[in-house]
Structure formats: C-alpha cells, structure tokens
Amino acid sequence: MPAMNTNTLPGSTGFQAIDLGIGGMTCASCVGRVERALRKQPGVVEASVNLATETARVTVNGADDAMAARLKRAVRDAGYEPRAVESDADPGAVRWLGVPRHAWPVLLAALLSAPLVVPMVGDLLGKHWMLPALWQFLLATPVQFVLGARFYRGAWHALKARTGNMELLVAIGTTAGWALSTWLWWRAEPGEMVHLYYEGSAVIVTLVLFGKWLEARAKRQTTEAIRALQALRPERARLLPDGVRRTAVVEVPVDELLPGDHIQVLPGERFAADGEVIDGHTQADESMLTGEAMPVAKAPGSVVTGGSLNGEGLVTVKVRASGARSVLAHIIALVQDAQAGKAPVQRLVDRVAAVFVPVVLSIGVVTLLAWLWAGAPLEEAMQHAVAVLVIACPCALGLATPAAIMAGTGVAAKHGILIRDAEALEVAHRVQAVAFDKTGTLTEGRARLLSLQAAPGRDDAVLLAQAAALQSGSAHPLAQAVMNAARERGLAWPQAQGLQSVTGRGVQATVAEQALLLGSLRWMESLGISLGALEPAAHAALARGASVSVLAQAGGPALAVLAFGDEPKAGAADAIAALRERGLQLSLVSGDNRAAAEAMAGRLGLHTHEVLAEVLPADKAAAIRHLQRGEGHPRVVAMVGDGVNDAPALAAADVGLAMGHTDGASADVAMHAAGITLMRGDPRLVGAALDISRRTVRKIRQNLFWAFVYNVAGIPLAALGFLNPVVAGAAMALSSVSVMANALLLKRWRP
C-alpha cells in the first residue's frame, strides 16, 4: 500500500489533501512537532496530525511527484517514520509463539523486572529478599537500554529539534534512576548493603511499554469501523460474456470493472460494484452501509450497492460504478476524513502541549534543586525529580479528543450516520433549531392517488381505467400515481388513441371512442368545463392540501375529480415528537402551496406557525439564515434535506444533515453538501445524529478534564514527595489507557 493517499478537495481549484501515515508519535508534543515540520514545506497550505490514528492530513497547493518525497523526508527529519496510511489488516493479529508481536517487548520487560519487584513485595511482608547489586544491574540494564531503546531514539530526535516529548521525559527520568543506582553501587564499600533504584527505572519502562501496548490495542478498536467497511469490498467479480470478446463467465479483479459491464452475483456473495439488477430476484443485506438490519428485496430495476450481501437469489447486475467511484468508497473516505480531522477544541490542547514539556523539565530541575536546598540526600532529590518527569507525560492530552472522535464517528457509521468532519460533530451538539425539507425528507416523495370522486351515476373503476389509459404515455409523477392505483385494483386499461400532451395543463386522447381530457382545474376552467356536483369534492381536496386533477369529456361535463398527495414517512411524526421533547425549535421549509404544506405539517405534528411554504429552492438558504438570526437571539440551526436540490440550504445551515440515497450520484452530492449524511431515509436518524454528537462531545470534555486534572494534581504531588517514580509511572500509563477506555464506551451506543 502506498505511504500516502491523495485526493482533490471538493470545490477546490488546485488544492489537494494528502494522507500520510506516521509512526513513532507518542504524545501531544509529537503532534505539534510533526505539524510544524510539514507546514514548513513549500506548497503546504495546512497540516493536521492525529495522534490516535497516527496519520497526517496535509493540504497542498498543487501536488507533484516531488511533494510526496518532501513530505516523507520532513517527517523522517523530525524523528518519525513515514509509513502506509491504514491497511486492511489488523497489525495486532500478527503473533509470535501465540503472543501478539507488539506484546513481546512488554512481556520480556515484565519477566526481567519481576525479580526486581519481589524484594519490594517482601518488604511489605517483613522479609528482606534483596538481590545482589550485580544481579539487579544485569536485570535492569537490558530493560533500560534495549527494550527501552525507543525512548532514547525519540528523545534524541526531540533534542535535535530543540523541543520535548514523552520519550525525553521518560528517558531522562529513568536514566537518572539507573545512573544514580550505578553510581551508588560503584562508590559503595565492599560488602556494604546499599539501597539501589534499579527496580524503579525498570518498572517505569515496563509500565510505560505496557501502557503503550494497551493504548495501541484500544486504537485498533476505535478504527475497527474502517476495517469492517474495507472488509466489505470483494476482490473479484464474475464478469458475464458480452457477445464480442468474452464467450464465458470469467473472474476478474473488481478494479477492472467498467460501467455497463454485466456481472453475475451468486447467493451469499457480496455485490462487487454499484449497479442495477437486470435479471433475477433476491434480497440484499445492506446493514453495514445503512444500519438497516432488515433485508431489502431486489428485482429487475432495483439499485444495489457494492459491498452489500446478496441473499439466496442468483442475479445479474449492470455495473454503474465501482472502485473509487462507488458508494462504499465514498463512505470509507467520509469516515476516514472525519477520523483524520481535528476538532476545534483540539487547538487549545495543541497550544498547551507546545509549551508543556519545557515547563515540566523546568519543574523537574526546580524540584531537584529545592530538595537539595532543603537538605535532602541527592538520591532522594533525584527520586522526586524523576517522579515529576515521569508523571507529567502529556500522552492523555494528545489522545483525549481524537480517541473520542474516532469512536463516535465509527459507531455512528455502523448505524448509517456518516459524519464528514470533526467540526460538524462538535457543532451538532449545540443545535437549537432543526429545519426540515418536506418532500423526500419527511414524506415518501412519491405522489399517490388519494381519492377519485366520480360524478353521480358513474363507475369509479371504469373512470380510473380511462384515466390510466390517458396517462399511459407519460412519466409524470401524477401519471405514475394513476397507473399504480389502477394496478393495485387489478384494472386493465384500454388503448388511448391520438394521445396529446398539453404542456403544463394535462393530456387529451380518445379512449373507447370517447374524447377525454385529464388535467388541472385551471385548464378545465379555461375550456369552460363545469365541475357541477363535483365542485364540493374538489374544494375539499384543495383544503386538505391535495393536488387536484379533473377527468372530463371534451366539451362535456366533468366525470371525476382526482386528488393526489404525498404520504408521511413511517416514523416521521415520532421523529418530530422526539425532537420537540428535547426542546428544539422545529420548522418545515417547503416549496408547496401553503395549504398543502400546512396540511402535511398537521399530520406530522408540526404547528402552522412552524411552516415556511412556497419557498423556492434558491430561496431556502435565505430561509435558513432567517432562522439563524431568530428574533434578536442568534440560533444554531440544523437543516435536514435530501442533499440534492437542498444543497444551498444544507451549506447555509450551521450543520447540514442530508438524507442519503444508495445511488452513486445523489449519494456523492449528499456527502459533499452536508456535514452529516443519513444513509437511510429515516427521519428518526436526525435525533440519533444529534445524540451521538452530544455524547461524543461529552466524552471529549471528560477526557480533557481528567487529562488536565491528572497533570495539575500529579505534578505537585510528585514534586512534594508524595509519589515515588514507580507509582508515577503506573499513573502515567493508566491515564492514557483510561482516556482510551472512556472513549471506547461510545461503541456501546445505539440509536
């Protein structure tokens, strides 16, 4: 896999985002050093480094072949290792003799340190099991300089860069303990029993290694959402003959598929690409893409998404998109972007981390001098200074925000909520008002024939069949609604002769030797056709917000009034009620006439004053800005739309939530128009998206609070002599692990 991925930024001209993997970072100070090194490179506009994912997102103005080399060289010169961004494989799965490869340094350090700890346990039991000094030296030295070599490498690079990091603090602290012990042993008289501190240095190195190993395990858990999505991508596809070059089914790599190819998908296989079923019937499990657990029926004409699981049917699919253009690729990229991003609150952490290590080193020196000035022996003063250096490592600060963001965006993606960036995640929890588009968002978006009122003495079934005949040559949504209603009643309609469409008015044709018209009320009025006894039915339908058409004889009376309308989505009213219970202000923004918009609002549980009707698509953004201004009190507004014709409003809102579609084009629009994409057309996911945002931000705040409190409380305690270096090392390792564990609690979230 390449060491970096390059993507053109949406809506940019010449700017590209380069993702670069970075090995060897351990704390927030490392993040700052890598960012500074990358930003110094010519052509780099911005660089954002994520400690939890160990990646950098670099925005450059025009990337060339030399840019990749310059960025990797900058990372290496800063003391870190450029590497692959993120592979599908789990590095924790590699084992030696049944033990995870990354656990071996920890295991060896623990085995060598254990004999050094035994005398400490004996002291608690009143026993004196002191090991000879030579044995202590032989056990502690490999731990210090072989298994702990990573700390010296990192410290050396930090010193060359004239900065500080966790490795520098650990290296100085543990080396001081080891050197003090060696000096005391060297100057002791033969046969003299002298207290040494080899066990402290060895145990600190072991604890820090153990903490880093636990931290790495937790990181892999936070990125499992990405690996699970990547695992959905089949490697090969069964390509069908095309009648020209291929005469038999052949297996080809998925990357070789082209739009228009026909592929065969066997029962139990994953669809290799986005496409349309052209033969066969089956069901598809799309749960990993949409969060919907129920299988979805697929028949000829149905859209399928690459990565979803085929059920029990053998189907033939016409490829629409594959590889980087597929919906699955868009989803993976979106989740990666969100996890690689940096939340606004992280900027404060970065500023603190930039001065943290130099300040800690100063405190360590002051602690040493203060204890010596107070008359303490050199070894005691060194112990307290070492404890300060060890406990102050800013690992937890660097992990607090990205760990929570990774866990939150990962679990959200699992349930069909795709969060594009960390800023959208942070803003969503502050939302005070939610504006909904109507058609396709809260309603099904498909016109239905709600009623057909026949004139006295007329058979409504015959009239419905005649109306279907008139509409049989049209693709208009109302025409489809008429034909669907006829099919549902099992009606067969006659052939229409001389069918003509009158633009914006209706259609006319001869059906069963009758000249018939079907069109709008305005058209009928212009033709002088009276509704007669059907007039009350027409007015009643208009009052309900329905669209009305009239079936009439040419030059004769009206035969029937047809009322059309949309239906609320299942769960839409529940979603509105749940958001209202949270105290959010709700609005319906619709281009429909006021009667239709208010009628639908009433069915959804919205009030009349919450309806903004007859709003053109171009004016929806202005409507959102009006809601943001409020009545003298600015509000944080979320806009929920279908992500296509609502794109301006989604962009104008503080956070846009787009109802995604499974076809590639509209999904791409939805993902780029809004900060959050809901992969299912379920309005209840709006509340779920706001909820996971609120919970994730809460975890960020908890992590930052405890990370700061830990250092604010720990450093004085160590400086005053209340913590020995071993306890400080254990506490430092525990702080990082606790931050990761707290973030991982988000994985238990359910919508």
Q: In 605-644, which residue ranges form alpha helices assigned H by DSSP?
A: 620-629
> In the structure encoding, which two tokens stand for residue 272, read together?
């290799």
**450-473 exposure pattern, b = at least 16 Cβ within 10 A, e = fewer:** bbbbbbeeeeeeebbbbbbbbbbe
437 carries an active-site annotation = yes
Give me the helix-helix angle, 198-222 and 166-187, nearest 10°.
Answer: 160
**Under 8 Å between Cβ of 178 and 144:** yes
Q: In 630-663, which residue ranges form alpha helices assigned H by DSSP?
A: 647-652
How many whole angstroms separate alpha carbon 570 and alpha carbon 591?
22
Beta bridge partners of 83: 21
> In the structure encoding, which two tokens stand for residue 400, read together?
């607090």
Backbone angle region of 208, left / alpha / beta, with phi > 0 → left and psi within -120 to 50 → alpha: alpha
| Complete DSSP assignment for 18-83 | EEEEEE---SHHHHHHHHHHHHTSTTEEEEEEETTTTEEEEEEES--HHHHHHHHHHHHHTT-EEE
**Under 8 Å between Cβ of 684 and 675:** no
> Which burial class, exposed, middle or buried, applies to 205 when counting CB atoms under 10 A from its CB (0-12, 13-18, 19+)?
buried
| Tokens 């110094």, residue located | 40
Half-sphere exposure of 463 (CA within 13 A, CB side): 22
**Under 8 Å between Cβ of 371 and 384:** yes
> In the structure encoding, which two tokens stand for residue 228, read together?
């699970």
User: What's the longest Cα–Cα distance across the chain?
Assistant: 126
Beta bridge partners of 237: 252
How many whole angstroms separate alpha carbon 78 and alpha carbon 181?
33
User: What is the DSSP code (8-state) at residue 144?
Assistant: I
Task: Give 42's contacts (C-beta < 8 A, 6+ positions apart).
Answer: 70
Amino acid sitting at position 55: T
Catalytic residue among 437, 592, 654, 668, which? 437
Q: Coil, strand or helix: which one is 437?
A: strand
Listed residue (68, 85, 102, 71) closest to 23, CA to CA? 85
Question: In this structure, what is the dihedral angle of CA atoms 506, 507, 512, 513, given to the nearest 10 degrees?
Answer: 110
How many whole angstroms separate alpha carbon 726 and alpha carbon 385?
13
Amino acid sitting at position 256: E
CA dist list (Å): 261 to 184, 276, 373, 606:
78, 11, 82, 47
How many whole angstroms separate alpha carbon 712 and alpha carbon 629?
41
CA dist list (Å): 532 to 457, 529, 561:
13, 9, 11
Among all residues, which ones are annotated catalytic?
437
